[in-house]
Structure 1
Amino acid sequence: MKKILSFVLLAIGLMVNAQNELPKSATDAAPLLIGEKIPNITLKTIDNSSVSLETLFSKKKTVLVFYRGGWCPYCNLHLAALAEAEKELLDLRYQIIAISPDSPKNLKATEEKDKVNYLLLSDSTGELAKAMGIAFQAPENYKTILAKGSDGLNSTFLPIPSVFIVNLEAEIDFEHITPDYKHRISNDLLVAAAKSLNKE
């Protein structure tokens, strides 16, 4: 009986550790690769309704953006820049979806502040960021900011600012991962990649 109990406790301990084992820094992360499929995860919209990624991806090719939160000035600059490229991307038959750990309420504030028309989604639990290999342990000085931004659902992880181009089958055709959050992909490079994939 003791052996069985020990085994059960060990198994539970391993499961807890596995859930908590995030890369210590952005440079330690191992993102999904080009050609890999993004898991079908359900996220929250600005109005707190649920939407599945599979449903969204099946409608149009997607420029999928991960940002740290509406509290991050570099993210706000990037979101505003994306808004400038939106018409060109729409003309190429893409949709833009931007995802952060922010709660739906805080997504709405970002939408209004950065004047974006594209879709913002909440991944407050980090299920998607972790599944995509772009989540890492938040430094101690970020935990209060993250808890506030996610309405208390997250104080443990940050997503690496990343941009993916995803096809109708939810497969990654292009990715740009930037562990240094101060540097983001330029609109010129993003649009060039989108155009190139349109020719294939």
Structure 2
Amino acid sequence: MKKIICLALLTFGLTANAQNDLPKSAIEIAPLLIGEKIASLTLKSVDDDDVVLETLFSKKRTILVFYRGGWCPYCNLHLAALGEAEKDLLSLGYQIIAISPDAPKALKATEEKDKVNYILLSDSNGEFAKSVGVAFQAPENYKPLISKGSEGVNSTFLPVPAVFIVNLNGEIEFEHITPNYKNRISNDLLIAVAKSLNK
């Protein structure tokens, strides 16, 4: 009986530590740096299909966007703005991939609501956001929103809104990370950076 109790306490402790391992706030994150390689993980598409990031990265240079979820009005504005910049970015040889903790069903709703043509991917368990170093502990008041968006998979983390430019090998060439979720990179700056990296 003692062994069972100890095992249960150990399991609980590991679960609690997984949450505690995350930075407590958006300003405490430690993201990957320019020149570092992003891990190739498998995420879910809007159609709930497996998508291997390495395969996507190998096709084109990538504008990789982390956003909080379709429930976030600032994220929706940013996604819509990216849609306006998409033509210019495509002409420069880039693709746009946006990732959030939302489940595929919620991604589909965002895709339709914001008229998104680029790729949306689901990282509901946060494995990818954590590997890039942009995940932090979600404040209590956000937990019902993120739990609903992820269909119950996530109630512990949020990604800091971030934009990375990634080359064909998955290496970071540029990053713009905004702990204040109300501030996002402008299209003008993003296009200017994309152009400069193309030279």
**TM-score normalised by structure 2 residue count:** 0.93
Please tell me whether residue 19 in structure 1 is matched to residue 18 in structure 2: yes
Number of the residue aligned with 1:75: 75
Number of the residue aligned with 1:152: 152
Q: State how 1:1-200 maps to structure 2 within 5 Å.
A: 16=15, 18-20=17-19, 21-199=21-199
Number of the residue aligned with 1:3: none
Shift of 1:19: 2.3
- For residues 177 and 73 of structure 2, the distance between their equivalents in structure 1, rounded to whole angstroms, comes to 18
Name structure 2 gaps, 5 residues minimum: 1-5
- For residues 168 and 41 of structure 1, the distance between their equivalents in structure 2, rounded to whole angstroms, comes to 15
1:128-175 alpha-carbon deviations (Å, 9 max, x no partner): 000111000000000000000000000100000000000000000000
Secondary structure in 1 matching 2:170:
coil
- For residues 148 and 15 of structure 1, the distance between their equivalents in structure 2, rounded to whole angstroms, comes to 24
1:96-150 alpha-carbon deviations (Å, 9 max, x no partner): 0000000000000000000010000000000000011100000000000000000
Amino acid at match of 2:54: E
Amino acid at match of 2:89: L
Number of the residue aligned with 2:3: none
Percent identity for Structure 1 against Structure 2? 72
Amino acid at match of 1:141: N
Shift of 1:16: 4.3
- For residues 140 and 176 of structure 1, the distance between their equivalents in structure 2, rounded to whole angstroms, comes to 26
Change (3 A) 1:10 1:35: farther
Tell me the matched-pair count: 193
Secondary structure in 2 matching 1:145:
helix
- For residues 15 and 144 of structure 2, the distance between their equivalents in structure 1, rounded to whole angstroms, comes to 23
- For residues 82 and 9 of structure 1, the distance between their equivalents in structure 2, rounded to whole angstroms, comes to 47
Change (3 A) 1:155 1:9: closer
- For residues 194 and 22 of structure 1, the distance between their equivalents in structure 2, rounded to whole angstroms, comes to 31
- For residues 18 and 186 of structure 1, the distance between their equivalents in structure 2, rounded to whole angstroms, comes to 37
Amino acid at match of 2:162: S
Range that drifts further, 69-78 or 17-26? 17-26
Name structure 1 gaps, 5 residues minimum: 1-5
Shift of 1:18: 4.8
